[in-house]
Structure 1
Amino acid sequence: MSPAHTIGSRIRTFREERDIDLESLSKNTGLTLEYLEKLESDAIYPSIGPVQKVARALGVRLGTFLDDQFTRDPIISRISNENEADEALHTGRIPRPSYTYHALGKGKNDRNMEPFHVRIYPDSSERKTTSHQGEEFLLVLKGELLVVYGRENFLLKPGETIYYNSIVPHYVGAAGEEPVEILAVTYNP
């Protein structure tokens, strides 16, 4: 992926266009200056939570950083190659992706929902929960999905769904040693 099409470069571009310095962004997001510097230089794979905090602070949709095509309604998406993701994100501390995302709403710039086809790889790092405003709907397509929601654990299999308020701390990951594929739809007010 070219530098102009990475999450970090998009964040930096939007921040600079709004004349917001990193210190202000850090204050408005609760993320450390060091973390934001690494994020903008693509030195880390961020999880959705921090990217969503940055999107809110900059006044843009989460999808602004995950896709950049703009077309007219209706939008039709095809996943042609499971090895070619729109973006890769990571939940742990090691610099390899745990998630690959195919944004399914690319181009619909007035959307309220963010649909994704997500492939989640097993990750042995700490199951760190995140919380943010909005709602999430997940449909398991392949494999087994572990969802930690508050103090409860849910194990979902293909064909099963979960729909929850994302303000409650939650974690989503592969339940076993095999990758899991899901359809994820998020709503961020």
Structure 2
Amino acid sequence: MMEFNIGQKIKGLRKMRKLTLQDVANETGFSPALISQIENNNVSPPIATLSKIARFFDVKMSYFFEEGEGNTRYEIVRRDERRVVSRVISKDGTRHGYTYEALSFRKKNKKMEPFLLTVTERAKEETLYNHEGEEFLLILKGTAEIILDDERFTLTEGDAVYFDSTVKHRLLLKEGATVEVLAIVTR
């Protein structure tokens, strides 16, 4: 698996628009230090953070995952071709315990972003995230807990949830060693 250079793309957008780290921070609500860490690939942003950055720069979230030239009407991604989007680390530097793999990265101008989300440990904190769009999660393996606003639900293999991403949410490992989730996010 190869990783995306999301930080370089964010830095490129910022420099092209002649913006400072502080300018981006003021508009997104993230600290200049966090933006710098993301740009230098020291911190991988959660999908919710990346969604807010994409909205600020007026690009689709898929911009950060695209590679290659042109647009195609279909795309096949083999298991060994997947790209790691992020091994997510929180603002305070603690691990969230999950990894996103892009299941589509050649097709441009997508209306949805499919990911394989693997959760390997329960995060110590339960910060909830929200962003524009919608999400669909299908539990492929393991048992997870999802927090939607103030409600908690246990999801097991084969369970699915579809929700408006503006709802504050968080997926956590409930029990066991690993949870694998098909996650589809729209802008």
TM-score between both structures, scaled by the size of structure 1? 0.87
| Alpha-carbon distance between aligned partners in 2 of 1:68 and 1:20, rounded to the nearest angstrom | 25
Paired residue secondary structure (1:137): strand
| Alpha-carbon distance between aligned partners in 2 of 1:90 and 1:102, rounded to the nearest angstrom | 11
| Alpha-carbon distance between aligned partners in 2 of 1:89 and 1:46, rounded to the nearest angstrom | 8
Distance 1:85 1:173, change over 3 A: farther
- Preserved contact between residue 137 and residue 184 of structure 1 (Cα < 8 Å): yes
- Preserved contact between residue 75 and residue 107 of structure 2 (Cα < 8 Å): yes
Paired residue secondary structure (2:80): coil
1:17 CA drift (Å): 2.2
| Partner amino acid, structure 2, of 1:87 | V
1:131 CA drift (Å): 0.8
Distance 1:2 1:157, change over 3 A: closer
Larger displacement relative to structure 2 (66-75 or 169-178) = 66-75
Report the equivalent of 1:175.
Answer: 174
Q: Structure 1 unaligned runs (5+)?
A: none
Identity of aligned residues (%): 29
1:116 CA drift (Å): 0.8
1:75 aligns with 2:75: yes
Report the equivalent of 1:184.
Answer: 183
Report the equivalent of 2:149.
Answer: 150
Report the equivalent of 1:88.
Answer: 86
- Preserved contact between residue 96 and residue 122 of structure 2 (Cα < 8 Å): no
| Alpha-carbon distance between aligned partners in 2 of 1:15 and 1:26, rounded to the nearest angstrom | 11
- Preserved contact between residue 7 and residue 66 of structure 1 (Cα < 8 Å): yes
TM-score between both structures, scaled by the size of structure 2? 0.88
- Map 1:59-138 onto structure 2 (within 5 A): 59-70=58-69, 72-80=72-80, 85-92=83-90, 93-94=92-93, 96=95, 98-138=97-137
Paired residue secondary structure (2:138): strand
Larger displacement relative to structure 2 (151-160 or 16-25) = 16-25
| Alpha-carbon distance between aligned partners in 1 of 2:60 and 2:176, rounded to the nearest angstrom | 33
1:89-144 deviation line (CA, Å, top 9, x unaligned): 32534455622222122111111111111111213420110011111000010111
Paired residue secondary structure (1:175): strand
Aligned length: 185
- Map 1:7-26 onto structure 2 (within 5 A): 7-26=6-25
1:88 CA drift (Å): 2.2
